[in-house]
Amino acid sequence: MLQKQKLFIIKIGGNVVDNEVALHAFLKIFSAISDACILIHGGGKIATSIGNKLNIESKYIDGRRITDDDTIDLVTMVYGGLVNKKIVTVLQALNCNAIGLTGADANVIPAVKRPVKTIDYGWVGDITADHINTDKLGLFLANGLVPVFAPLTHDGQGHVLNTNADTIASSLAVALSAIYDVRLIYCFERKGVLENVDDDASVIRLINNEKYAQLKTENKLFAGILPKLDNAFAAIAAGVNEVLIGDANDLVRNTTGDTIGTLITK
Amino acid sequence: MLQKQKLFIIKIGGNVVDNEVALHAFLKIFSAISDACILIHGGGKIATSIGNKLNIESKYIDGRRITDDDTIDLVTMVYGGLVNKKIVTVLQALNCNAIGLTGADANVIPAVKRPVKTIDYGWVGDITADHINTDKLGLFLANGLVPVFAPLTHDGQGHVLNTNADTIASSLAVALSAIYDVRLIYCFERKGVLENVDDDASVIRLINNEKYAQLKTENKLFAGILPKLDNAFAAIAAGVNEVLIGDANDLVRNTTGDTIGTLITK
């Protein structure tokens, strides 16, 4: 069997996107990766700040934004326009042939509006990896393009949907694992998963299923990291080769064999 | 020689983009075109309206927007995000596989920041047809995608540039005429170029160089149409097969041999 080509799917969070200096530093590092890459970004704080000026109130339930009519227009502008096109334009200046996308563009990520149970989240999209159109993504990657995703999808009925960037990253990773050797990288405000939350030098370099069970039994992990690790192991179980959690500044090392963050494998 | 494939490059103006009902009606017609298509849109009034709420003053000199730092962010949001992604999402619902682009995406339209002579237009881009990257556009078209352009380009140095939509349309038409049989269509608030400005039935159905010279000599054209016709003949001189000026509602007829607007040819 032919060896699959390496693909890095990299998600950057608010700590990188919301800070222009950090973002430019990150994009410089990102643009130097020679393997195939996909970038997924957020932009929540910028949306909140512009929303405040437009008198669009940011409403959250359990940490999730409620996306009413005004809010979907706001995030379509900010994520799909301001943040996405700025990133693409800076990457182009760094000789990285970026193409900005939402899930609606080329119908790459069709989604379903989240059904209302106890909470009406509004124009929020749920996606599954098996609906992702890997043919068009594969076409872009094969032609040297670097897809840059805003966290937006669509419902196939004419509506943009606000969609969690972590979920877009893991769904893309699962879907593209059929054709690529995928490493999914979550850039994070720490060096990796820490054994001691106060000590950046205590990064746990490798976590497999067995180690994860052991860490949970020993109660060694700080609470906030558990959902991230559960998501990572779900992606691994669904076919992703490796997930890495690490600092955006360590991206160069973390796209090599000699990683410096926390590498998660079977 | 093989016959070139037909390509329609269609520019819609403010009268279509700024009115949600008119826009949806237009997109329904547009989505039914079976030949290869590219759409270019504006969005000036929506940008002005959101800019007013954000206290970003819209400044014009000789009818052209002055694009300062705040304004380029505003139009990047509105043209590249809000308007572009709404159009793409509605087209997807109509089974038209649209992909939203600015000139920065895939580096399709590199531009030069307009040099300051007597007026500083700010972050405004000037483009020439010979810089357009037709290889990536050809790739998208050959794979059934319908590019939808916001009127934005980039300077290759990390800046988005505000760029006239008519100019983007004609430059794309000229550049793509090397590989396609291009009809450039300017959608317009009238049925076409009128012999009598008060009579929609007086459309001049065909204007070639000879007829144009004659119309100018006879002083038969209303002043506003002259720059449009000059641009059309410049595109024809640069290799575009046909330019059509007509009503957005007549798009079906105007993408056939039996046109109803004003067809401009050599």
Average pLDDT rounded to a whole number, residues B48-61: 92
- Residue carrying the six token digits 């370099």: A205
Average pLDDT rounded to a whole number, residues B148-157: 98
Residue A62 near residue A121, CB atoms below 8 Å: no
B252 versus A107: the higher-pLDDT residue is A107
Measured CA to CA, the distance from residue A207 to residue A231 in angstroms comes to 13
Of B81, B78, B99, give the one whose Cα is nearest residue A104. Answer: B99
Partner residues linked to A183 by β-bridges: A8, A242
Contact A86 B154 (CB under 8 A): no
Q: Parallel, antiparallel, or unpaired: how do β-strands B112-113 and B125-126 relate?
A: antiparallel
Determine the distance from the C-alpha atom of residue A63 to the mean position of all C-alpha atoms in its chain, rounded to a whole number.
17
User: Which residue of A77, A99, A152 is in closest CB contact with B105?
Assistant: A99
Portion 118-137 of A in contact with B at CB < 8 A = 136
pLDDT in tens, B18-46: 999 999 999 999 999 999 999 999 988 99
pLDDT band, residue B96 (cuts 50/70/90): very high
The proportion of chain A whose per-residue pLDDT surpasses 90, expressed as a percent, equals: 82
The proportion of chain B whose per-residue pLDDT surpasses 90, expressed as a percent, equals: 81
Measured CA to CA, the distance from residue A247 to residue A260 in angstroms comes to 9
ipTM: 0.95
Instruction: Enumerate residues 6+ apart whose C-beta is below 8 A from A200.
Output: A190, A191, A194
Residue A112 near residue A126, CB atoms below 8 Å: yes
Beta carbons within 10 angstroms of residue A234's beta carbon: 13
Residue B228 near residue B194, CB atoms below 8 Å: no
pLDDT the model gives residue B44: 84
User: Which residue of A85, A92, A152 is in closest CB contact with B76?
Assistant: A85
- Residue carrying the six token digits 């966290």: A151
Please give the structure tokens belonging to residue A144: 């040297």
pLDDT in tens, B125-141: 999 899 999 999 999 99
How far is the alpha carbon of B123 from chain A, nearest alpha carbon, in Å?
A: 13
Contact A76 B93 (CB under 8 A): no
Average pLDDT rounded to a whole number, residues B166-172: 95
pLDDT band, residue B222 (cuts 50/70/90): confident
Contacts of A25 in chain B (CB under 8 A): none
Contact B81 A79 (CB under 8 A): yes
Amino acid at B223: A
User: Which residue of A93, A102, A106 is in closest CB contact with B145?
Assistant: A106
State the pTM of this model. 0.96
pLDDT the model gives residue B221: 83
User: Low-confidence residues of chain A, pLDDT below 70?
Assistant: 1
Of A95, A186, A170, give the one whose Cα is nearest residue A129. Answer: A170
**Dihedral of CA A186/A192/A196/A199: which sign?**
negative
Residue A72 near residue A62, CB atoms below 8 Å: no
Of A66-70, B11-15, B80-84, B234-238, which gets the smallest average pLDDT? Answer: B11-15
Contact B145 A152 (CB under 8 A): no
List the single residue in A with minimal CA-CA distance to B91.
A158
A and B: number of Cβ contacts within 8 A: 130
Residue A78 near residue A102, CB atoms below 8 Å: no
Q: Is A102 on the interface with B (CB under 8 A)?
A: yes
Portion 28-87 of B in contact with A at CB < 8 A = 50, 53-55, 73, 76-82, 84-86
pLDDT the model gives residue B241: 94
pLDDT the model gives residue A1: 59
How far is the alpha carbon of A59 from chain B, nearest alpha carbon, in Å?
A: 20
Residue B30 near residue B91, CB atoms below 8 Å: yes
How far is the alpha carbon of A57 from chain B, nearest alpha carbon, in Å?
A: 14
pLDDT the model gives residue B1: 59
pLDDT in tens, A35-92: 999 999 998 899 999 999 999 988 888 777 899 999 999 999 999 999 999 999 999 9
pLDDT the model gives residue A64: 77
Q: Is A89 on the interface with B (CB under 8 A)?
A: yes
pLDDT band, residue B6 (cuts 50/70/90): very high
